[in-house]
Chains A and B, each alone.
Chain A
Amino acid sequence: MSGLAYLGIAYLITWVVIAAYLFSIMKRQRTLERRLEEDQKTDAGRL
């Protein structure tokens, strides 16, 4: 493999890992927000 290929893989890995981490945080956040909203609705329904 050429130096250019190693350079490409290094940059690709960097962005894939950062993007995956960012998306995992945002996905977990959305799931929690939805759960909290549902809990609030359930509580309001009970009242």
Chain B
Amino acid sequence: MKKDPLPVLAGVTATAMLAGLWAVFFWVPTEEFQGVVQRVFYIHVPMAWVAYLAFAVVLVCSIAFLKTNNSRWDTVAHSSAEVGVVFTGICLATGMLWAKPVWGTYWRWDPRLTLTFVLFLIYAGYLVVHRTAADPSRGGRLAAVVGITGFATVPLVHFSVDWWRGQHPGRTVINVEGSPQLPAEMLLTLLFMLAVFTLLYTVLMTLRVRLALLEQRAVVA
């Protein structure tokens, strides 16, 4: 019998997460100007990265679903959209909590913030369309169109800090200067947390896809 890799993956993710949190709180130096609150960076940025990844998966699977009409693609796209919405929501919440002590306000209608909020609404809309359609097959196809067109917002969110003037800081890892603008410890910790949250995305996706397949079995039964 084939062994389920999920417990091992979940264990590796949990261990890596603990190591990452140790680095965030005990290894990385405190940022000079913002102080301790700058450590929100190590969850805020990975949340945005995983959301981009999740919505890229929605894009690819939605195209495959519309092309092949195989419902497995729709299942993966729907699961990824749900995880992406959760991560975008956390990204927005952690950003607001970081903004308050640094900017003096939780929210500004800055291009990056506004577009991230729009991204959240688009994929929340995807979930609503998918869930509420009277005909599930038609709902899946309609949601796939939302998933494909909605992805155009991702590059807008990412490059908004270069294209428009706002208060949100510019890109620090892959930026216009072509080299990271971070001290080595900060960059290493950020990259490690990016990997850890990508692992967490894989765990959540595996669980969510399994649940979706179970739901389909229950409907058939």
Q: Which of A3, A18, A28, A33 contacts B34 (CB 8 A)?
A: A3
**Alpha-carbon distance between A13 and B200 when the two chains are bound, in angstroms:** 16
Chain A 9-47: CB-based contact to B (< 8 A → 1; otherwise 0): 111011001100110011011001101100100000000
Q: Which of B192-213 contact A (CB under 8 A)?
A: 200, 204, 207-208, 210-211
**Alpha-carbon distance between A21 and B94 when the two chains are bound, in angstroms:** 17
Q: Are A36 and B221 in contact (CB under 8 A)?
A: yes
- Asked if B158 is at the interface (CB within 8 A of a chain A CB), the reply is no
Q: Are A13 and B217 in contact (CB under 8 A)?
A: no
Q: Which of B47, B97, B210 contacts A6 (CB 8 A)?
A: B97
Q: Which of A3, A17, A36 contacts B90 (CB 8 A)?
A: A17
- Asked if B35 is at the interface (CB within 8 A of a chain A CB), the reply is yes
Interface size of B as a range:
20 to 34
Q: Which of A7, A17, A33 contacts B37 (CB 8 A)?
A: A7
Which A residues form the contact surface with B (CB < 8 A)? 1-4, 6-7, 9-11, 13-14, 17-18, 21-22, 25-26, 28-29, 32-33, 35-36, 39
Question: Is the contact region of chain A dominated by helix, strand, or loop, or is it mixed?
Answer: helix
The chain B residue sitting closest to A33, CB to CB, is B214
Nearest-neighbour CB distance to chain A for B196, whole angstroms, equals: 12
The chain B residue sitting closest to A29, CB to CB, is B211
Q: Are B218 and A10 in contact (CB under 8 A)?
A: no
Chain B 9-22: CB-based contact to A (< 8 A → 1; otherwise 0): 00000000000000
A sample of 5 inter-chain contacts (CB < 8 A) reads A3-B101, A6-B40, A32-B211, A36-B214, A36-B221
Contacts A3-B37, A14-B90, A36-B218 known; list 13 others, CB within 8 Å: A1-B101, A6-B37, A6-B97, A6-B100, A6-B101, A10-B98, A14-B43, A17-B86, A18-B90, A25-B207, A25-B211, A29-B214, A32-B215
Across the interface, which residues of A come within 8 angstroms of B39, CB to CB?
A: 7
Across the interface, which residues of A come within 8 angstroms of B94, CB to CB?
A: 10, 13-14
**Alpha-carbon distance between A25 and B207 when the two chains are bound, in angstroms:** 7
Q: Are A10 and B97 in contact (CB under 8 A)?
A: yes
- Asked if B36 is at the interface (CB within 8 A of a chain A CB), the reply is yes
Nearest-neighbour CB distance to chain B for A43, whole angstroms, equals: 9
